[in-house]
Amino acid sequence: MNRWCCWRRLRPWRAARARAFGDQRSSARWPGGRCLATEAGPRPVRLACASGFWGDTATSVPQLVSGGNLDFLVFDYLSEITMSLLAAAKAKSPDLGYVPDFVQIAMAPFIKEIHKRGIRVVCNAGGVNPLGCAAALQEVVMKAKLDLKIAVVTGDDLIFMKDLLKEVGITDMYNDSHFPANVQSMNAYLGARPISRALDLGADVVVTGRCVDSAIVLGPLIHSFGWKQNEFDLLAAGSLAGHLIECGAQCTGGIFTDWHKVPDWDNIGFPVVECSSDGSFILSKPPKTGGLVSFGTVTEQLVYEIGDPRNYQLPDVVCNFSQVTVSEISVTDGGAVLVQGAKGSPPSDSYKICATYLDGYRSIAVCPVAGRRSVEKGRKTAESILKRTRRIFKEVGLDDFKSVNVQILGSEETYGRQAAKTNNSPREAVIWLAVHHMQKKALELFSREIAPAGTGMAPGLTGIVGGRPKVSPVLKPFFFLYPKQNVTIDIFMNGKHAETLKEDFNFTHLPASEENAEQEQDDLNDLPIGACRYRLEELAYTRSGDKGNTANIGVIARHPLYYPYLRKLLTAQAVEEYFQHLIEKTDSDTMMVTRFDLPGIQGLNFVLRNSLGGGGVASLRIDPQGKAYGQMLLDFQLRNLPDLKTLVDE
């Protein structure tokens, strides 16, 4: 399908926008897809995200390039742990340290078509070696006999400062721990301004190191519309667009609560946003792709991995998403929604910095067990392996494990008190035996003691998933703030230095509100009661994620009528009690769960501190990123409610 056919397919959405905002946008464009301002104002800009993490599907690029009618294609690859792995790779070879998939899988096969269609590319694939990434991409460009300007943004890598920062006594912003030894990487989360400036200089491709994920979308929007540094509502809106699409298919039906209603996972469409200069945007996906764009799929992503929705801090703006609205405007071709209502305020004068450091090693054994009493057999097997290994440690003079986690999958112990009560033990289960030790040698001994269980312990141990368990480093994050004025950002174009940027901070940051996170409950006391009981899944969608050792669970009412009942019954205390078996309390009197309201989408966001066993690769749990927490909360029982389903139908 050619570009103009795609354009015609969008007319119903454009008409909906015109009715909502009273604006008519020109579809004219510069040759090569560049924006063209007209008397009616700049036309909307179309962006799509083809990668939510390093390892995402390679099928996204061709569908977006051919069917997205794009101005910009963006790729998000980085996490804190990814940065550590890339730093380790660069330590072995100075030519490494970037995401090779971006060059060889995402760009090389499609570079000619991307150039032909005038699509500009922005990515954070540079990792800890953005210049190396650009050099590798330049080889692809030359082989394709194309003329493309490749810009590189540097300045985020602060590893050279680690000794100085240790001397001045920097502490972690979340737990006040001291600056660690064995730092493997240290990077500032840069903002969108360097990206927009690189585009201003004519870049066809922009490669960055660490930046906030949403910046890869906000940067092109600042460039396209000329949004100013103090237009905070617009910057918040652009950041919201980036936040919604940065995880790829997670907003187009991936990991959706109503997963059974999402068609064609094998060909799931990746997200496309059409943004207007006023900050409103339409989110959709390419035609003839699987997946689903709806109120539910998009609002789930809105609450993903956020804390206080009124105080979502980014380098360019502090966002307030509490009054954002998401409206379904089309159900054809998988659906489309209109998003608006983000507000912004001035950012702080500091960058958030993430350092990762080595904290020993871990090893995980995963073994299926079959037959009657499989849970009991699995637990006794794990305990026997640990007992034997500890005896060996004593014999050779090694310390005990620093931590151990034994879980028998199939027993529902992950649910704690919420585990299903049954008299029938499953006839198959899986041993999850994870250990942490400061010495690699100790875990190599542990790893060798797993296989003997297959001949010397319980019957029905059918194998070891992945063979002998690997011993891998434990990399933990350490977060702190660092003055923006001390960070120098450089832009390179085709390998040559083009410009040096300094943060121009000339406005006053507003501190976070001191008001209680939970709204007053007085207006909820008079709600009608009844004899009905509902599982949360019947009334709401959920989505959960992580930030370090903190998890968040977003809950969105399926109907506005349900929202006040969720606010009344699903309190922070109720959620903390529900997950008490997973939360490590620092003080018996301290609440570890905080609730925030999002009335714009009839949603609640719960932040659960110290709930992931350390989080990331530091955790020994089966769910170190809280991915299943939202699913677990769906079984929460809401009692003494009226017949809400009948009221909605009426």
Quickly list DSSP for 340-395.
E--EEE---SEEEEEEEEEEEEEEEEEEEEESTTHHHHHHHHHHHHHHHHHHHHHH
Looking at residue 3, its pLDDT comes to 33
- From 212, 183, 215, 175, select the one nearest 197 (Cα to Cα): 215
Q: Do 432 and 547 reside in the same domain of the chain?
A: no
Give the type of residue at 26.
S
- Residues 342, 389, single domain; the answer is no
Q: 513 lies in a domain?
A: no
Instruction: Please report where in the chains the tokens 């006023």 appear, as a residue.
Output: 278
Name the residue with tokens 């994620």.
545
Q: What are the φ and ψ backbone dihedral angles of 483, each rounded to 5 degrees?
A: -60, 135
Q: How far is CA 489 from the centre of its chain?
A: 25
- Together in a domain, 542 and 450: no
Nearest-angstrom CA–CA distance, 32 and 40: 21
Radius of gyration of the chain (CA): 26
Structure token pair of residue 490: 């450089």
Same domain, residue pair 329 and 395: no
Q: Where are the beta strands (DSSP E) in 203-284?
A: 205-208, 272-275, 281-284
Least confident among 448-452, 513-517, 538-542: 513-517
Determine, yes or no, domain membership for 421: yes
Q: What is the pLDDT of residues 231-284, one digit of tens each?
A: 999 999 999 999 999 999 999 999 999 999 999 999 999 999 999 999 999 999
User: Which 3 state secondary structure label does DSSP give 475?
Assistant: strand
Per residue in 437-486, pLDDT (tens digit) is 999 999 999 999 999 999 999 999 999 999 999 999 998 899 999 999 99
Q: Are residues 268 and 386 in the same domain?
A: no
Q: Determine, yes or no, domain membership for 81.
A: yes
pLDDT at position 17 is 44
Q: What is the pLDDT of residue 644?
A: 92
Q: What is the pLDDT of residue 24?
A: 32
Q: Is residue 260 domain-shared with residue 131, that is, in the same domain? A: yes
Mean pLDDT of 31-59: 77
pLDDT score for 61:
98
pLDDT at 10: 40
Q: What is the mean pLDDT of residues 611-640?
A: 94
List % helix, strand, coil for the chain (3-state, nearest 5): 35, 25, 40
Residue range(s) defining the domain that contains residue 559 = 522-649
Q: How many domains does the chain have?
A: 3
- Sheet containing 45-49, strands listed edge to edge, beginning at the edge strand earlier in sequence: 325-330, 336-340, 281-284, 272-275, 45-49, 72-75, 120-123, 205-208, 150-154, 489-493, 496-501
| Residue 201, in any domain of the structure | yes
What is the mean pLDDT of the segment spanning 20-40? 39
Residues 319 and 384 in one domain: no
Average pLDDT of the segment spanning 319-337: 94
Interval 77-116: pLDDT, tens: 998 878 888 988 998 899 999 999 999 999 999 999 999 9
Beta bridge partners of 361: 437, 473
Residue 540 shares a structural domain with residue 447: no
| Residue ending a domain, choose from 417, 449, 475 | 475
Task: Tell me, yes or no, whether 426 lies in a domain.
Answer: yes
pLDDT for residue 628: 96
Dihedral angle of Cα 167, 169, 170, 175, to the nearest 10 degrees: 140
Residues 471 and 534 in one domain: no
Spatial CB neighbours of 260, under 8 Å, sequence gap ≥ 6:
none
- Dist CA 226 CA 391 (whole Å): 67
- Is residue 30 domain-resident? no
Residues 148 and 200 both lie in one domain: yes
Pair (48, 99) in one structural domain: yes
pLDDT of residue 513: 57
Torsion over CA of 119, 274, 35 and 490, rounded to 10 degrees? Answer: -60
Per-residue confidence at 504, pLDDT binned at 50, 70, 90? low
What is the model's pTM? 0.91
CA distances from 312 to 173, 345, 348 (A): 16, 10, 12
pLDDT tens sequence across 378-400: 999 999 999 999 999 999 999 99
pLDDT at position 505: 64
> What are the tens digits of pLDDT across the range 341-368?
999 999 999 999 999 899 999 999 999 9
> Other C-beta atoms within 10 Å of 59: how many?
14
pLDDT tens, 161-204?
999 998 888 999 988 899 999 898 899 999 999 999 999 999 99
Structure confidence at residue 546 (pLDDT) = 93
Separation CA 374–CA 411 (nearest Å): 9
Residue 49 inside a domain? The answer is: yes
Angle between helices 295-302 and 232-245 (to 10 degrees): 110
Same domain flag for 235 and 148: yes
| Neighbouring residues of 473: CB distance < 8 A, sequence distance ≥ 6 | 358, 360, 361, 362, 617
Residue 424 lies in a domain: yes
Tell me the pLDDT of the chain averaged across its residues: 90
Averaged pLDDT, 47-56: 97
Helix (H, G, I), strand (E, B) or coil at 472: strand
Mean pLDDT of 64-69: 95
- Tell me how far apart the alpha carbons of residues 552 and 642 are, in angstroms, rounded to a whole number: 29
335 closest CA partner among 27, 13, 45, 2? 13
**Lowest-confidence pick of 113-117, 387-391, 411-415, 593-597:** 411-415
